[in-house]
Amino acid sequence: MNAEPNYLNANLKFSPNAIPSGKLAWRSPSNIALVKYWGKKSVQIPQNPSISFTLSKSFSETEVSYSPAVSGKSEVEFYFDGKRNLLFEEKTAGFFDGLSSIFPFVNQLKFEIHSKNTFPHSAGIASSASGMSVLAMVLCDMERQLFGTLQEEADFRRKASYIARLGSGSASRSVFGGLVIWGEAEDVSGTSDYYGFPVNEGVHEMFADYQDTILLVDAGEKKVSSSLGHGLMNGNPFAADRFHQAHGNLTALLQAMRSGDTEAFIRISESEALTLHAMMMTSQPYFLLMKPNTLQIIERIFAFREKTGLPVSFTLDAGPNVHMLFPTTIKEDVKRFIDNDLLSFLSPKGYIEDEVGKGPEKIL
Ligand code: DP6
């Protein structure tokens, strides 16, 4: 069991007459889980370990200007896509307030935050992973620049992942590139319930640039918040078995990815996606997030795989969109398949061709 790092640090505070001003910006990607995090304990501790691919093209880009606060507590002004966004403002202010013993300096500053996502707004793509991880990168970068701490890259990333987790569990995985585990996995040393841990070493090279084409089935807003869904696992009659199953699936999936066993990769990751939705369907209240077109697409993926023998598979997050996963070598075949057979099931926003990426990047 990896102990919780102690990040409480009263020294990370400016003397009252030396509160600085400045600006910095980061970009941080979304990720797609293969073994799902669904169910948590307080505070932001997962009920089971999860593993995901960090994406490349679906990211949040956030510029933060800071200056001395006038009120003596942190002040946040949040602009999304150029417009003031009070919902994000409230969320971010709450997140910063919760961090006041880890980063006492946030209480001394006024933040003006400008953020945008590369993926279409309201496309049903979860933005908390990219949105919260980018804020975590910014705060840790401020600590590094202004206090001279976190000079070691590993320390910097670990703390950023810890902070991102407090904002949104899945965000802890976006702090690293490639394949990332969050949550203590029995046979993978270095994993922790408190932060993400990259596990790219020894994984078959085909997964280094694996493709994730996100088929946008329904461009509406998400109907069920993740927090509510996680909460419902507390009363789900299958919860204990599910949490246990996730451990075995993670071990088997990682093994398959190390040996390049695409058949096992497909079997486990598709089963994980359907199990996630089965958990939603067996909670009280129950909810159904797949749409008829989600099933149409899944059926066609099965048929295409059967006919061609190509290793195309799907996963889902807590919504109706389908993530199609496949190796780069068959990109052209898959594109033809989508254009010929799947377009009629998609919303006008179409699809996003994403792939495994390297993680957050500092841009200012
Ligand atoms: C279905 O990370 O969005 O995407 O910690 O409450 O912010 P909070 O939840 P969140 O949950 C993600 C759930 C999921 C599966 C996953 O990404 O592992």
**Distance, CA of 113 to CA of 82 (rounded, Å):** 10
Q: Please work out whether the CB of residue 64 comes within 6 Å of at least one atom of ligand 1.
A: no
Q: Please work out whether the CB of residue 38 comes within 6 Å of at least one atom of ligand 1.
A: yes
Q: Please work out whether the CB of residue 128 comes within 6 Å of at least one atom of ligand 1.
A: yes
Q: State CA 341 to chain mean position distance.
A: 29
Residue 336 alpha carbon to ligand 1 centre in Å: 32
> Could you read off the pLDDT of 191-248 as tens digits, one per residue?
999 999 999 999 999 999 999 999 999 877 667 888 899 999 999 999 999 999 999 9
Start-to-end CA span in the chain (Å)? 37
Q: Please work out whether the CB of residue 126 comes within 6 Å of at least one atom of ligand 1.
A: yes
Q: Please work out whether the CB of residue 170 comes within 6 Å of at least one atom of ligand 1.
A: yes
CATH 3.20.20.140 for the 22-201 domain, yes or no: no
| Residue of 28, 31, 37 to mutate, ligand 1, most atoms within 8 A of C-beta | 37
Ligand 1 nearest-atom number relative to CA 182: 18
Q: Please work out whether the CB of residue 50 comes within 6 Å of at least one atom of ligand 1.
A: yes
DSSP-H helix ranges across 116-189: 128-147, 153-167, 171-174
**Distance, CA of 226 to CA of 223 (rounded, Å):** 10
> Could you read off the pLDDT of 302-321 as tens digits, one per residue?
999 999 999 999 999 999 99
Q: What is the pLDDT of residue 123?
A: 64
Q: What is the pLDDT of residue 124?
A: 65
Question: Which of 2-6, 37-41, 60-64, 208-212 has the weakest average pLDDT?
Answer: 2-6
Average pLDDT over residues 134-148: 98
Residue 344 alpha carbon to ligand 1 centre in Å: 29
> Could you read off the pLDDT of 106-127 as tens digits, one per residue?
999 999 999 999 987 666 676 8
Name the residue with the closest Cα to ligand 1, atom 4.
Answer: 317
The percentage of residues in the chain with a pLDDT greater than 90, rounded to a whole number, is 92
Indicate whether 138 pLDDT > 80: yes
pLDDT band at 3 (very low <50, low <70, confident <90, very high): confident
Residue 33 alpha carbon to ligand 1 centre in Å: 9
What's the CATH superfamily of 205-355?
GHMP kinase, C-terminal domain (3.30.70.890)
Name the residue with the closest Cα to ligand 1, atom 6.
Answer: 227
Q: What is the pLDDT of residue 72?
A: 75
Ligand 1 nearest-atom number relative to CA 165: 5
Average pLDDT over residues 148-156: 98
Q: Where are the domains of the chain?
A: 22-201, 205-355
Ligand 1 nearest-atom number relative to CA 128: 3
User: Strand runs (DSSP E) across the chain, as ranges?
Assistant: 22-35, 40-41, 45-46, 50-68, 75-80, 83-84, 109-117, 179-182, 196-198, 211-215, 313-316, 322-326, 351-355, 361-362
Q: What is the pLDDT of residue 227?
A: 86
Q: Please work out whether the CB of residue 349 comes within 6 Å of at least one atom of ligand 1.
A: no
If you average pLDDT over every residue of the chain, what do you get? 96
pLDDT band at 39 (very low <50, low <70, confident <90, very high): very high
Query: CB atoms < 10 A from the CB of 180, how many?
Result: 26
Q: Give the number of residues written for the chain.
A: 364
**Distance, CA of 219 to CA of 321 (rounded, Å):** 9
Average pLDDT over residues 65-87: 93
Ligand 1 nearest-atom number relative to CA 40: 5
Indicate whether 347 pLDDT > 70: yes
- Tell me if 204 sits within 8 A of 258, measured CB to CB: yes
**Distance, CA of 50 to CA of 183 (rounded, Å):** 6
> Could you read off the pLDDT of 233-289 as tens digits, one per residue?
999 999 999 999 999 999 999 999 999 999 999 999 999 999 999 999 999 999 999
